[in-house]
């Protein structure tokens, strides 16, 4: 069939992969950075993503592909005017300025079981500061002039797909993270948007929202101006694209019963499910996936950035910090790090900070390093517990570690030890870009993404066993006590 281009537009950078559509063999790759952000205000100019995409494609050095797909950071608000112009910098998923709006929104949904339970039933999730609907509420409250000019409400992947094709479209996976699209019903819930502003009415809100494409439905073909900007010839097919977690699930061939733990700027734990979830505690976001199933997910704001910061304090690179952490036994000598450096999403504590407890005479750098990895992993394992409590099958399949943190020996080992599970680390390093390639190839061939992922073997990789004796219950109890 030729070549496919997969795009991963994350918080920190754009990464691209070009793969053979038949075999999945990696032909080329490229990367370019995004401007740094610092919560609580975390914003980026979408044009910076477009420039980074051009840089990443140029670095890959491939000029002819047959299909393209975009996987990108979820939840961000790209506000466009009537002429398609960007009205203001995009508020990103990790922007916590909208925390007050999240709390207000939860309180506005009435009925006998109002609040969190009503939101979970309506759209599968309880709004927290990350969700797009909270950013719309913030815009309405803080920047009414921009809100008045709002003609199109897009997510980061939607905007990049629009730049590629000219179409205003999204997919069910990314739409499910907005707080106003229902995975269970497969439709926009304009009644939720009318809580933000009742003025436009249902029709007015629908006119602002992108059309939700079905699994396998293409967004269009590459328009000439975009091709010239990116150095791509012809009119390759552009697939629907999706959110980054949904793309990563495609990239490792996730099936019902499997669990994925993703370590990047954020941490996520998610599983593929045949049925939707509605968790009134707010811990589990009831997302859809990119194939027609569902992707219940727990997200933490703090993951590899925590160990990056600890390494910086010690003057150590990632490999050196991992060696230091692994030089001391599990439990870190009683030291516990609660890693809420940027506030936290799960649990919902947007104003929290990190906490270090258990310091004693004899506490070493190695204890502190180990505590950093264990704190991040303990938070994610609480997410795994929440998935199980929501009725999701999390034990009959693989436990798969993805994201940039999957390259860390320390994260691999600590996750295996504290979960008590063998951990599979797929060989494909850039799981979001690889998953976008899978979607592009499946759309091109008119087949299911699982068929492509199986044929390519992207989910295969080494397994790390929990081979260290550890009092896991005591370690997790100590973390829970320190978290409070």
What pLDDT is attached to residue 345?
A: 87
For 365-398, what is each residue's pLDDT tens digit?
A: 999 999 999 999 999 999 999 999 999 999 889 9
Does the pLDDT value for residue 76 go beyond 60? yes
For 95-146, what is each residue's pLDDT tens digit?
A: 999 999 999 999 998 755 569 999 999 999 999 999 999 999 999 999 999 9
101 given a catalytic annotation: no
For 110-120, what is each residue's pLDDT tens digit?
A: 755 569 999 99
Cα 239 from Cα 452, distance rounded (Å)? 14
Pairing of strands 259-263, 267-270: antiparallel
For 259-272, what is each residue's pLDDT tens digit?
A: 999 998 889 999 99
- State pTM to two decimals: 0.92
Portion of the chain with pLDDT greater than 90, in percent: 92
Cα 63 from Cα 223, distance rounded (Å)? 15
What number is the average pLDDT over the span 420-449? 94
Question: Alpha-carbon Rg of the chain, whole angstroms?
Answer: 21
What number is the average pLDDT over the span 75-98? 96
Which tokens belong to 181? 């699209």
Portion of the chain with pLDDT greater than 70, in percent: 99
- At residue 223 the predicted structure's pLDDT band, cuts being 50, 70 and 90, is very high
For 299-312, what is each residue's pLDDT tens digit?
A: 999 999 999 999 99
- At residue 428 the predicted structure's pLDDT band, cuts being 50, 70 and 90, is confident
Pairing of strands 336-338, 169-171: unpaired
For 11-41, what is each residue's pLDDT tens digit?
A: 999 999 999 999 999 999 999 999 999 888 9
**Helix or strand or coil: residue 169?**
strand
Residue 80, φ and ψ in degrees, nearest 5? -115, 150
Tell me which of 171, 197, 244, 348 is the catalytic residue: 244
Instruction: Say if residues 406 and 263 touch (Cβ distance below 8 Å).
Output: yes
Query: How many CB atoms lie under 10 A from the CB of residue 233?
Result: 12
Q: Which domains can be identified in the chain, with CATH numbers?
A: 3-243 (3.30.420.40), 253-426+461-484 (3.30.420.40)
């Amino acid at each position: 069939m030729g070549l496919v281009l997969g795009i991963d537009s994350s918080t920190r950078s754009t990464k691209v992969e070009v793969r053979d559509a038949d075999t999945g063999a990696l032909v080329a790759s490229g990367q370019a950075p995004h401007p740094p952000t610092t919560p609580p205000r975390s914003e980026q100019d979408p044009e910076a993503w477009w420039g980074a995409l051009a840089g990443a494609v140029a670095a890959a050095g491939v000029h002819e592909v047959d299909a393209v797909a975009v996987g990108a950071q979820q939840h961000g608000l790209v506000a466009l005017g009537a002429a398609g112009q960007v009205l203001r910098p995009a508020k990103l998923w990790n922007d916590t300025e909208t925390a007050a709006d999240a709390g207000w929104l939860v309180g506005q949904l009435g009925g006998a079981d109002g609040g969190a339970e009503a939101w979970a039933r309506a759209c599968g999730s309880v709004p927290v500061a990350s969700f797009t609907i909270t950013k719309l509420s913030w815009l309405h409250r803080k920047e009414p002039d921009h809100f008045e000019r709002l003609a199109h409400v897009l997510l980061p992947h939607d905007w990049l797909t629009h730049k590629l094709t000219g179409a205003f479209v999204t997919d069910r996976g990314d739409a499910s993270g907005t707080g106003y699209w229902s995975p269970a019903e497969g439709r926009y819930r304009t009644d939720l948007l009318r809580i933000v502003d009742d003025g436009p009415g249902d029709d007015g809100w629908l006119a602002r929202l992108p059309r939700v494409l079905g699994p396998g439905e293409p967004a269009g073909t590459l328009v000439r101006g975009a091709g010239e900007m990116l150095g791509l010839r012809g009119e390759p097919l552009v697939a629907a694209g999706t959110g980054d977690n949904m793309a990563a699930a495609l990239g490792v061939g996730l099936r019902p019963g499997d669990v994925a733990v993703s370590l990047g700027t954020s941490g996520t734990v998610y599983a593929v499910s045949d049925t939707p979830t509605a968790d009134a505690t707010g811990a589990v976001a009831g997302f859809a996936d990119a194939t027609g199933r569902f992707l219940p997910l727990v997200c933490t704001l703090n993951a590899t950035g925590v160990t990056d910061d600890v390494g910086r304090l010690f003057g150590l690179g990632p490999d050196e910090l991992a060696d230091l952490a692994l030089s001391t036994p599990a439990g870190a000598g009683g030291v516990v790090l609660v890693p809420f450096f940027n506030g936290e999403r799960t649990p919902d504590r947007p104003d929290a900070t990190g906490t270090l407890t258990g310091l004693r005479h004899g506490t070493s750098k190695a204890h502190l390093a180990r505590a950093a990895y264990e704190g991040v992993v303990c938070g994610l394992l609480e997410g795994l517990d929440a998935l199980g409590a929501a009725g999701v099958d999390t034990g009959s399949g693989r436990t798969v570690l993805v994201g940039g943190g999957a390259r860390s020996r320390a994260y691999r080992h600590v996750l295996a030890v504290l979960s008590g599970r063998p951990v599979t680390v797929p060989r494909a390093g850039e799981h979001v870009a690889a998953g976008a390639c899978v979607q592009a190839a499946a759309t091109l061939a008119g087949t299911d993404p699982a068929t492509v992922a199986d044929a390519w073997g992207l989910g295969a990789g080494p397994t790390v066993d929990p081979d260290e004796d550890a009092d896991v219950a005591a370690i997790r109890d100590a973390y829970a006590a320190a978290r409070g």
